[in-house]
Structure 1
Amino acid sequence: MQTKPKLRTRKMLTVPVTAVALLALGACGTETGAGSGGSGKEGGDDTVQTDVPLTGVRWSVESATVGGKKAPAPDGVYVKIDDKGAVTGHYGCNSFTGRATVKGDTVDFDKLLSTQIACEEQDFELAMRQALEDPLKAELDDSRLTLTTPRGGTIALTSKPVEPPAPLTGTKWNVSGFQEGETARSLPEGTGGKAYLTFGKDGTVRGHTGCNSLNGTARQGDGTLEFGRVATTRMLCQGAEGTVEKDLLQVLSGKVKYRVDGRSLTLTAADGKGLEAKAAK
């Protein structure tokens, strides 16, 4: 019997103060509730008027203290705000996008959308999502940023990479999910950790579909990979493994865009289909 993959659609999430801090921190390396200061504004001229240089920096989250309890951030948690107020980030399991209003030393998050992967450990992520209703006060000390919630909770971030980003070539990229436009799907139950890709400096790709071994060519360009013929072994794949193999091979065709964000890799084809992968440790 075929196991249906879980759909994780990027949907609106509403979160309390505790998350605001955490979200702002979410800074690992491609929308939750309305912040009180955002007022639903979509990138007006006053979206970013900052006394603290927050924008254009990838802020890695180190920890969050809520209710007097300090929790270390999992690998890969970060947040980044561009000079027009667009937000990208990662909770450690799910990625998110949205808007932020930055005025003086106050940051207010708005319209945050997240992928919906079912993660084994979600305590920190849930805490982040709880913290995004109210504005956060930002205090910068050299490369360290502290965000403080109205209730006294804090988020500790740093502009220094928590760990170096994984190189595209030579890294074993474990496939973690697929996407189509704004909809993302986690892997079917029982298939996690089986499919992977490794790109060579010589323009080759090898790996595993979760059922069959694969190899082919992948010519690297400026933010793109152009796949030639990708060959696989000939095992008959059925059920969930067959679904993963089909989805994976559909992405590995022709020219696709790639993005390495810390230890995460995203491949996106021209038709909007794509995959997400994590660097193996």
Structure 2
Amino acid sequence: MPSRMNDAVKRFFAKFDDVPLDVLADRMGISTRTLKRLREGDNQPSDDTVVKMTELIKSANDEALGTPAERVARAEALRAAHEKQQREIRLAEYRDQIEKRYPLWFIRVREHILAERYNDAIQSLSDHIEDPVSWEHVDSDVKPYVLHALGVAYYRFGANLEARQASEQALRDARKSNNVSPLLKAWVLNMQGLSAMRLWDTDQAFKSFESARTTDPSVDASYYNAICCASLLKAEDHVGFWTGQYVASCHLFSTSDIEDVISRARTDKDLVFFRGLPIMKEFMDRLSQELRSRPERKEN
């Protein structure tokens, strides 16, 4: 390695000498060409690049040296962070009458979540929620949105108990306000249900999905997540009930949502049991029939 290469870069390439450059570049969010120039010593890394290199080294060391329990915990956290098979709220799509009252720091938090920087989002949200002065200045109608964002971040990070607690607090705050939309309440209930499902509290999960369905029947995630829960339990009667509910209500769902479900249902790991049932084909056929019956149109 060229002598002009700094120590952090030397350690990085010594550690990952047998890993393809394109794989490393993708993990770091930089181009393969840039990484190659760093390896050859032609460029010096930015501070952000050094941080990412250090994090990857630490992650590799933790995996190699950790106990079996620690490795399992990390694997579960990564799975939850990257698996988006369940239908979750896209925070950036909120454009309602209270948008202008979001604190500036919450706008940055939403950007963290969209960039999958869940730990950063959790840290920022927790700091402001736990600070009495900061939290007092958050509009009461906005607090449920903020708490829901915390639940989403925790869930995607793999901290299901904390996700459930944040969702429950979001629901309590939502009930105190007359200006929180049914749409938000339905998504909070879905997040509560998903976290309960991952904790194997399936009775509560079904209750949450049913409450979400009755709160806003147009949120197709409530039905889809319940099908996932029923499939995990291998409860054919529950699968039949919720697929029937989805089909009966699919006229309320957008074309893009239905197309998304058709695509997800073929690969979602939670639906292995469902895919082995005869009702799976009927479900997919009914959704395809619904799509064919609609006039072609562009959706926002």
Same fold (TM over 0.5): no
Q: TM-score normalised to the size of structure 2?
A: 0.25
Which one has the bigger helix percentage? 2
Which is higher, the Rg of structure 1 or of structure 2? 2
Q: TM-score, normalised by structure 1?
A: 0.27
**Structure with higher strand content:** 1
